Amino acid sequence: MSELINNSDHRKKILKELILELHAGTEPEIVKERIQKLLKQIPYGEVVDVEQQLINEGLPVEEVTRLCDIHSSVLEGAIDLKSLKFIPKGHPVDTFKRENREIEKLVKEIRNKISHLDETIDFNRQKNELNSLFNLLYDVDKHYKRKEFLLFPFLENYGITGPPKVMWAKDDEIRELIKSTIKSISNSENIEDIKSIIPFLINPTLKQVEDMIIKEESILLPMSSDRLTELEWYKIYNESMDYGYCIIAPDIEWRPKIDLSKEIEENLQNSNEIRLDSGRLSVEELQNILNTLPFDLTFVDKNDKVKYFTEGSERIFARSRAVLQRDVRMCHPPSSVHIVDKIIEDFKNGKEDRAPFWIQLHGKFIHIEYFAVRNKNGEYLGTLEVSQDLTKLRSLEGEQRLLNYERREKND
């Protein structure tokens, strides 16, 4: 039997037969034992090949999806990852993995939180904290979208169509589980209500999230690293910001160690120029103009997602790029979400166009104003938040007509 272990076709034949036994109802532990005995280690690419073969031969994608978790548990520990490619920092695969580490930390924090639910502690505080953690967990949506809309199309070009469909279906299941959990926690009226959903909703949701990390890192990402070219990864890298990042954002720029084709360089150069009604600017010019403004801007699009914020040197409120593509409600404490909802509702229905606020913060007078952004036809495009420190401006008196440069105080 040893000769079978070192022959790819035989390995795939055996794996295929064992997976079909799973679908026929054989106990997973029995199949797992046979895999460990007959195959011991299976290259990750062969798992994908077998799954694709089964789908090509008529096994419904829905059936593969239904038993996907059983497949993963049976194969856990049997997939050979010794030949993994080196992935440089900042590479899309590196970003996926770094996000997974943050997701794992968040899952651990949630588990710790539910294990310490206490009837003697303020219920609303515990409820809001738990809901906030699950709202942050829904950031996996951005992680999954980058897989689905950027990575999967390239795999499909290589003839790998079935496994991405199966994983996409599992992604959707996880999204729905997280949303259901958030809704159930929100509807809970006491600690016992929350405790009652832990075994059949909260724990299964966290388990599914963790299982997806295993599927990605034992099969999807290694196999993708083998198949995709540096140029294809660079295309994914350049478009990733359109979908946003999960919990954290990459802090290292990555470029492939190849000469980019003339066509790609031209496309990048052309996309670097923004044409406006009153002129045109390079991306570098526009970005630095916006970051030089003496106030902070944050734009929330018509779908209530944070789409952009300035990164000036003296920000009033801290922002992380991880908030990009996050629902604006998740960027505010629960106690103020109703105000956010009211502003957005009034802006969308045309009832109002601006909403000003001002507060005292650390001895400074801070002015915050929200503006409805509309196109020429009056259609709502989003909301612009403008925050400014007006402390010095409020103290001005008289006039200044002569040139007098304002010197910034520098920290030695």
In whole angstroms, give the CA distance from residue 210 to residue 100. 9
List the domain boundaries for the chain: 2-80, 92-242, 276-394
Average pLDDT score over residue span 29-46: 64
Give mean pLDDT, residues 124-147: 95
- Cβ–Cβ < 8 Å for 185, 130: yes
Q: Which pLDDT score, from 0 to 100, does residue 102 have?
A: 97
Residue 226's pLDDT band (cuts 50, 70, 90):
confident
Same fold, 92-242 and 276-394: no
Q: In what order do the strands lie in the sheet with 306-309?
A: 306-309, 296-301, 380-389, 364-374, 354-361
The pLDDT of residue 401: 84
8 Å CB contact between 390 and 372: no
Q: pLDDT at position 1, please?
A: 40
- pLDDT value, residue 125: 92
Judge whether residue 16 has pLDDT over 90.
Answer: no
**pLDDT band at 41; cut points 50, 70, 90:** low
Contact 303, 282 (CB under 8 A): no
pLDDT at 5 > cutoff 60 = no
CATH of 92-242, one of 1.20.120.520, 1.20.120.80, 3.30.920.30, 3.40.50.2300: 1.20.120.520
* Sequence-distant (≥ 6) Cβ neighbours of residue 139 within 8 angstroms: 246, 247, 322, 326
SS (H, E, C) 183-246: HHHHHCCCHHHHHHHHHHHHHHHHHHHHHHHHHHHHHHHHHHHHHCCHHHHHHHHHHHHHCCCC
Task: Compute φ and ψ for 153, nearest 5 degrees.
Answer: -60, -35
Instruction: List pLDDT tens digits, range 151-197.
Output: 999 999 988 887 788 889 899 999 999 999 999 999 999 999 999 99
Strand, helix or coil at 182?
helix
- What pLDDT digit, counting tens, does each position of 284-316 carry? 899 999 999 999 999 999 999 999 999 988 888
Q: What is the pLDDT of residue 80?
A: 57
Q: Which pLDDT score is estimated for 4?
A: 42
* Mean pLDDT across 3-31: 68
Is 222's pLDDT higher than 60?
yes
Q: Is 52 helix (H, G, I), strand (E, B) or coil?
A: helix
| CA-CA-CA-CA torsion sign (224, 226, 232, 237) | positive
- Four-way CATH pick for 276-394: 1.10.260.40, 3.10.310.10, 3.30.450.20, 2.30.30.100: 3.30.450.20
Which helix (H) or strand (E) segment holds residue 390: the answer is none
Torsion angle defined by CA atoms of residues 54, 56, 60 and 62, in that order, rounded to the nearest 10 degrees: 90
Percent of the chain with pLDDT over 70: 82
Lowest-pLDDT choice from 9-23, 26-40, 309-323, 329-343: 26-40
Please provide the DSSP assignment of 248-270 as one string: S---S----SSPPPHHHHHHHHH
Comparison of pLDDT for 353 and 87, the residue scoring more: 353
The residue with tokens 């005292």 is: 360
Q: Across residues 104-114, what is the average pLDDT?
A: 97
Any idea what the Cα angle at residue 20 is, between residues 19 and 24, rounded to 5°?
A: 120
- Please state, in angstroms and rounded to a whole number, the distance separating the CA atoms of residues 91 and 230: 10
Amino acid at 381: L
DSSP state of 294: S
Give the H or E element holding residue 411.
Answer: none
User: What pLDDT sits at residue 271?
Assistant: 59
pLDDT more than 90, % of the chain: 49
Of residues 107 and 226, more confidently modeled: 107
pLDDT tens column, 372-408: 999 999 999 999 999 999 999 999 989 888 888 876 6
Please say if the pLDDT value at position 31 is more than 50: yes
